[in-house]
Amino acid sequence: MKNLPMHDIPYSTQQITDADISAVSDVLRSGWLTQGPTVPRFESAFATHHGVAHAVAVTNATAALHIACLALGAAPGKWVWTSPNSFVASANCALYCGADVDFVDIDPVTRNLSVEALARKLVHAEHTGTLPTVVIPVHFAGLPCDLFAIRALADRYGFKVLEDASHATGASYEGALIGSRYVDASVFSFHPVKIITTGEGGMVTTQDEQLAHRLRLLRSHGVTREAALLELSDAQTGAWYYEQKVLGFNYRMTDLQAALGLSQLGRMDELHRARENLVRRYDELLTDLPLRLPTHQPSPLTRARSAWHLYAVEVEPGPGVADRATVFARMRAQGIMVNVHYQPIHLQPFYRARGFEPGQFPAAEAYYRRAMSIPMYPDLSGAEQAIVVRELILAIQA
Ligand SMILES: *Cc1c(COP(=O)(O)O)cnc(C)c1O
């Protein structure tokens, strides 16, 4: 008989309560599965919670990045820059719009796009006439990027800032929740491994009314029925009448998803506190190991609260220390489903075929070689966390 692993602990998973289940069943019974009242309710609750004017719900964060890039001007002949230490969707969105993609290397401490590297790259791009139209900072693992510094560069060089806050629902920067305070638009993901879930789902937030309007058009076929926007009036036509203004998509969220999102949003603070408690314990229990633990601050000068989507450690090479691949394999063999975030995007075969090479973004590449995400989700129990730590102490010995 095959040996079963000792444990069954994922790196992340959703929390679903009875209240979530009744919220979804209520929609099933209501007759409105999509394009009903629950999506606008979720949008409005999300916007209010984040203190932002507009929230536009879509099918997933990848769709959100796509229409946000389009609405912010990504197009053929334009450049979009992002972090190589992210999921491929952070870069793919620019290519969907026909724009060109480039990357900005990370800060080895925060693992976020480095503001110094960004500033240097902008000086160079100004000389060569290749300044970006959109920059997409990614709040890796939920730790906010240094948004003051990025905003200052955006104002100086005239690019739009689209934050990929897929990891950062509930994170805050200088006392305010992440969501369009220092940026032009923000994107959130509600995939089950993220902070709150709608099964699949995403949201764009913005303070800019025109941008929100454009996002709503792009989300639903580029079609509108709003009387003020029509070329012909209802009087000349009929109540059936609509107009297509731009080439849009069907990126609509369903009311079933929105009901789950609303229910989850209601306990965001509780979910956040559970993650923070786990972080406190990991920080304490892992201090004496040959691991580099995640930092809590975007820079020495700014204050933030991470959403703690991930708890990513770096296995520091040294005498008596197993390498990352070995530690990873041993943890998995015990049924502890550690993961690696992220393989640098520019090293994917697809991006190499577009001319990217190893060595171009050395900090992201060095981080990748040592990185490992250990289990982090609100329902991870104290006993399970103790098992993770115990197995990690064993796995790390050469
Ligand atoms: C998960 C994720 C996405 C994509 O989110 P989906 O909702 O699955 O489309 C984009 N960017 C980052 C950084 C992510 O982690």
Q: Are 82 and 138 in contact (CB under 8 A)?
A: yes
Cβ–ligand 1 contact at 114 (below 6 Å): no
For a pocket test of ligand 1, which of 90, 103, 251, 345 has the largest count of ligand atoms closer than 8 A to its C-beta?
90
Q: What confidence score (pLDDT) does residue 239 get?
A: 84
- Structural domain boundaries, residue 262: 18-395
pLDDT digit string, tens, across residues 268-323: 999 999 999 999 999 999 999 999 999 999 998 889 999 999 999 999 999 999 99
- Please give the tally of structural domains in the chain: 1
The helix/strand count (H/E) of the chain reads as 13, 15
Index of the ligand 1 atom closest to the CA of residue 64:
9
Residue 7 lies in a domain: no
Residue 89 Cα: closest atom of ligand 1: 10
Q: Is residue 78 part of a domain?
A: yes
Q: Report the nearest atom of ligand 1 relative to the CA of 341.
A: 15
Establish whether 194 is a catalytic residue.
yes
Nearest to 202, CA basis, from 44, 58, 72: 58
CB 62 less than 6 A from any atom of ligand 1: yes
Provide CB contacts within 8 A for 160, sequence distance 6+.
72, 73, 133, 134, 135, 154, 184, 185
In a domain, residue 27? The reply is yes
Q: What pLDDT is recorded for position 300?
A: 87
Per-residue pLDDT of the chain (398 residues; tens, 9 = 90+): 556 778 999 999 999 999 999 999 999 999 999 999 999 999 999 999 999 999 999 999 999 999 999 999 999 999 999 999 999 999 999 999 999 999 999 999 999 999 999 999 999 999 999 999 999 999 999 999 999 999 999 999 999 999 999 999 999 999 999 997 899 999 999 999 999 999 999 999 999 999 999 999 999 999 998 888 888 876 677 888 999 999 999 999 999 999 999 999 999 999 999 999 999 999 999 999 999 999 999 998 889 999 999 999 999 999 999 999 999 999 999 999 999 999 999 999 999 999 999 999 999 999 999 999 999 999 999 999 999 999 999 999 99
What's 253's domain CATH number?
A: 3.40.640.10
Annotated catalytic residue within 78, 121, 194, 245: 194
Residue 86 near ligand 1, beta carbon < 6 Å: yes
Ligand 1 midpoint to CA 273 (Å): 23
User: Contact, 79 vs 132, CB < 8 A?
Assistant: yes
Residues 374/282, Cβ–Cβ less than 8 Å: yes
Determine whether the shortest distance from the Cβ of 309 to ligand 1 is under 6 A.
no
What region, left, alpha or beta, does residue 222 occupy, with left being phi > 0 and alpha being psi -120 to 50 degrees?
left
Q: Is residue 3 domain-resident? A: no
Alpha-carbon gap, residue 168 to 177, rounded angstroms: 9
pLDDT at 226: 87
Residue 172 CA to ligand 1 center (angstroms) comes to 19
Peptide bond connecting 182 to the previous residue in cis, omega within 30 degrees of 0: no
Q: Which pLDDT score is estimated for 311?
A: 98
Map tokens 């965001």 to a residue: 268
Q: Which atom of ligand 1 approaches the CA of 63 most closely?
A: 9
Q: Is residue 138 part of a domain?
A: yes
What's the gap in Å between 191 CA and the centre of ligand 1?
Answer: 7
Strands (DSSP E) contained in 282-381 are: 291-292, 304-305, 311-315, 371-374
> Does some domain include residue 288?
yes
- Residue nearest to ligand 1 atom 5, measured at CA: 61
Query: 202 in ligand 1 pocket by Cβ < 6 Å?
Result: yes
Q: Is residue 9 part of a domain?
A: no
Residue 195: predicted pLDDT: 97
CB-ligand 1 contact for 264 (6 Å cutoff): no
Any ligand 1 atom below 6 A from CB of 188: no
In a domain, 12, yes or no: no
